[in-house]
A and B are shown apart, each in its own frame.
Chain A
Amino acid sequence: MSTLTEAPPPLAPAPAAERPPRRRGRRTPYWLLLPGILWLLVFFALPLVYQASTSVQTGSLEEGYKVTWHFAAYWDALHAYWPQFLRSVLYAGSATVLCLVLGYPLAYLIAFRAGRWRNLVMILVVAPFFTSFLIRTLAWKTILADGGPVVGALDSLHVLSVTNWLGMTDGHRVLATPLAVVCGLTYNFLPFMILPLYTSLERIDGRLHEAAGDLYATPLTTFRRVTFPLSMPGVVSGTLLTFIPASGDYVNSELLGSTNTQMIGNVIQSQFLRILDYPTAAALSFLLMAAILIMVTLYIRRSGTEDLV
């Protein structure tokens, strides 16, 4: 009843014309991509090109600008503003390290120890987002006010003498010092560290801890050899999500710092919006972008996680 014969294999593959038309349009993905990608090209990529060209222009607001391949703008900008560049890297770097040190225990707590409080703690981490970050940053002015309880406590615990020695504070003040700026940056970007850390910690199978314990690892060794390596993707994306915005930030420096704590973001902002020296501002902005892209690329290469998107 059931019949089977093996048909001889066709001598040549069927010519393309005979093949039925594909059911799904080949162009569908392009139509789906078109509007969004166009948006990004016009309003993200094209501006970067414009900015690059602006950076090598000379002229003035009144007479208009011309592209004169004035690369000296880069040299001048770097020469004039290298302290701000350096500060950006230092402040953002310290804030990133602080975020990791502060954020890791909290992410660990939510992932493994919070139990039925997990959702509540999670909400508490995310909820501050809904209060404008500027309002929250202004609150640090109150918290770190001169002679306030926080500063008093830091002083009596001799934390301030350590930071004084490091050049982070000056005397008995915290406000308007580098420490305040780093504090603000840390606070602002802490959730961006905690969330990726939590995501990668949460994926770790709890039985791995038991297995490590079973194989004679102390809790500390378990953490060093098992938990931390497995959370590396979270550490990498968390540090990037913290460092990148922190290095370009100027809000914390402006609100909590002084003229001596200006970062590169402050310079770009004021050159663009107040001094209206567009070529210098564009050159600085371009340098910042290049520096960050290079650092990020090196970092991703080193840590071996290519797929962040």
Chain B
Amino acid sequence: MTTTTTTAATRRTGERGDVRLTGIGKTYGSFTAVHPLDLTVPEGSFFALLGASGCGKTTTLRMIAGLEEPSSGTVHLGEQEVTHLPPYKRPVNTVFQSYALFPHLDIFENVAFGLRRRGIRSVKKQVGEMLDLVQLGEQARKKPHQLSGGQQQRVAVARALINHPKVLLLDEPLGALDLKLRRQMQLELKRIQTEVGITFVHVTHDQEEAMTMADTVAVMNAGRVEQLGPPTDLYENPRTTFVANFLGTSNLLTARTDSVTGEDLVVEAGACTLVLPRARCSAPTTTGGEVLVGVRPEKISLTHAEDADTIPDGRNRVTGRITSAGFIGVSTQYVVDSPVCPDFEVYAQNIDRDPRLVPGAEVVLHWNPAHTFGLDAAQSPLAGTAEDAAAGGEGTGAR
């Protein structure tokens, strides 16, 4: 699904520029920041490491950069092993969190820094072109503190990219920007990546950012990679409760496996019988075993109880009463109190609003069984939610 862009340089040498991490881990004293993990980032891809703060994503990135020495395992860039190379000898560049622009140098010299350190004399043309690429040609002689946050961010990208690294590492590069600028810069970074074809490894805690930009996302939690895949895959078919909750919102209900019929799994949740495809269940499917059944809020339709007979057959149904309705323009967010789940979330598009759907109304929730997924009931259904984070789920590993 990820198409590998092979640049002219690598085609000539026949060398692939994948980043390969093998059994790489990091411990600080008795604290394990990153559990030994294997990870391959294909050349030319836009790869995101997503997780809450302290999950080990930044540490992983810094081990690729050489700023942190792994406690175990190896790092390969293409065929070259770089595990113990100092950062200044690695063909890798980083866009730092809050940019780390040199305050005593102007924009031009910031961008030229890497070239000059490698002994390149005539930098003027290259720097000029690079500044044009990030649309900062006019600002070359300003000092970093005279630029806006978005401009500083682009300088940081230019300063790294001018060295034509094999891999560009981005450590929360948009964290310091406001929402609107962040959106704009996401598209901008995506454009630059497509233009230069360099592998980007992007660390972020913003799930929307990761999904918008990356071809492949690895969701990290507590020093481990929970799940890895294209954004749509992760969203539609989460395999752990953490992924289900951290990427968007999920309604999770505890159910008991009733029977397996062909490709489908039939489960009982309270008085309701629900169906889900076996392929979308990552839990062991033994009859009578517990399973967490999940469904995304926007997949659910809401029908007033009086019209229950108009719902087509073959859909999963749950009954309940609306406890709150929040109008947010494009959609309305309902919370429904149902016997199987006390706060079932439903996002309904504002196409034809039924005026009867107000708090207190009895409703039927129904959705296509194909949108249901099943998770191992042995995990906490709250993992990855805001309550989880507040309860001390955040670690202190990544710095």
Q: List A contacts of B22 (CB < 8 A).
A: 7
In the complex where A7-B73, A14-B72 touch, is A1 in contact with B42 (Cβ < 8 A)?
yes
CA distance A6 to B4 in the complex (A): 24
Determine whether the beta carbon of A3 is less than 8 Å from that of B2.
no
Q: List B contacts of A2 (CB < 8 A).
A: 2, 39-42, 45, 47, 216, 218, 228-229
CA distance A8 to B73 in the complex (A): 12
Asked if B86 is at the interface of the complex by the 8 Å CB criterion, the answer is yes
Selected interface stretch from B30-38, B109-117, B311-319, B327-335: B30-38
CA distance A114 to B225 in the complex (A): 56
Q: List B contacts of A20 (CB < 8 A).
A: 69, 83-84
Q: List B contacts of A1 (CB < 8 A).
A: 1-2, 4, 40, 42, 216
Give the distance to chain A from B45, nearest Cβ to Cβ, in Å.
Answer: 8
Asked if B165 is at the interface of the complex by the 8 Å CB criterion, the answer is no
B interface footprint on A214-253 (CB within 8 Å = 1, 0 otherwise): 0000000000000000000000000000000000000000
Q: List A contacts of B218 (CB < 8 A).
A: 2, 4
Q: List B contacts of A5 (CB < 8 A).
A: 38
Contact for B38 among A6, A9, A14, CB less than 8 A = A6
Q: List B contacts of A6 (CB < 8 A).
A: 35-38, 224-225
Determine whether the beta carbon of B72 is less than 8 Å from that of A4.
no
Determine whether the beta carbon of B38 is less than 8 Å from that of A7.
yes
Determine whether the beta carbon of A4 is less than 8 Å from that of B37.
yes
A interface footprint on B1-39 (CB within 8 Å = 1, 0 otherwise): 110100000000000000000110100000000011111
Determine whether the beta carbon of B1 is less than 8 Å from that of A7.
no
CA distance A20 to B85 in the complex (A): 11
Asked if A64 is at the interface of the complex by the 8 Å CB criterion, the answer is no
B47: nearest chain-A partner, CB-CB: A2
Q: List B contacts of A36 (CB < 8 A).
A: none
Size of the B side of the interface (Cβ < 8 Å), in residues, is 29
Give the distance to chain B from A15, nearest Cβ to Cβ, in Å.
Answer: 12
Within 8 A of B (CB), among A139-170: none
B39: nearest chain-A partner, CB-CB: A4
B229: nearest chain-A partner, CB-CB: A2
A22: nearest chain-B partner, CB-CB: B69
Determine whether the beta carbon of B23 is less than 8 Å from that of A4.
no
Determine whether the beta carbon of A10 is less than 8 Å from that of B36.
yes
Give the distance to chain A from B86, nearest Cβ to Cβ, in Å.
Answer: 6
CA distance A7 to B224 in the complex (A): 10
Give the distance to chain A from B121, nearest Cβ to Cβ, in Å.
Answer: 29
Give the distance to chain A from B22, nearest Cβ to Cβ, in Å.
Answer: 8
Determine whether the beta carbon of A7 is less than 8 Å from that of B36.
yes
Give the distance to chain A from B382, nearest Cβ to Cβ, in Å.
Answer: 23
CA distance A23 to B90 in the complex (A): 15
CA distance A152 to B36 in the complex (A): 84
CA distance A137 to B71 in the complex (A): 64
Determine whether the beta carbon of B69 is less than 8 Å from that of A7.
no
CA distance A298 to B48 in the complex (A): 55
Q: List B contacts of A10 (CB < 8 A).
A: 36, 72
Q: Among B47, B72, B84, find the residue whose CB has the most chain A CB atoms closer than 10 A.
A: B72
CA distance A6 to B41 in the complex (A): 15
In the complex where A10-B36, A20-B69 touch, is A4 in contact with B84 (Cβ < 8 A)?
no
A9: nearest chain-B partner, CB-CB: B36
Within 8 A of A (CB), among B29-74: 35-42, 45, 47, 69, 71-73
B interface footprint on A61-96 (CB within 8 Å = 1, 0 otherwise): 000000000000000000000000000000000000
CA distance A20 to B70 in the complex (A): 10
Q: List A contacts of B84 (CB < 8 A).
A: 20
Can you give 5 contacting A-B residue pairs, CB < 8 Å? A2-B41, A4-B39, A9-B25, A14-B72, A20-B84
| Besides the known contacts A2-B45, A6-B37, A7-B22, 17 further A-B residue pairs in the complex with CB atoms under 8 A apart | A1-B216, A2-B2, A2-B40, A2-B42, A2-B216, A2-B228, A2-B229, A3-B38, A3-B40, A4-B40, A6-B35, A6-B224, A6-B225, A7-B37, A9-B25, A9-B35, A22-B69
Give the 10 A-B residue pairs with the shortest CB-CB distance, closest first. Answer: A7-B23, A7-B36, A20-B84, A4-B228, A1-B2, A2-B216, A5-B38, A3-B40, A1-B42, A7-B38
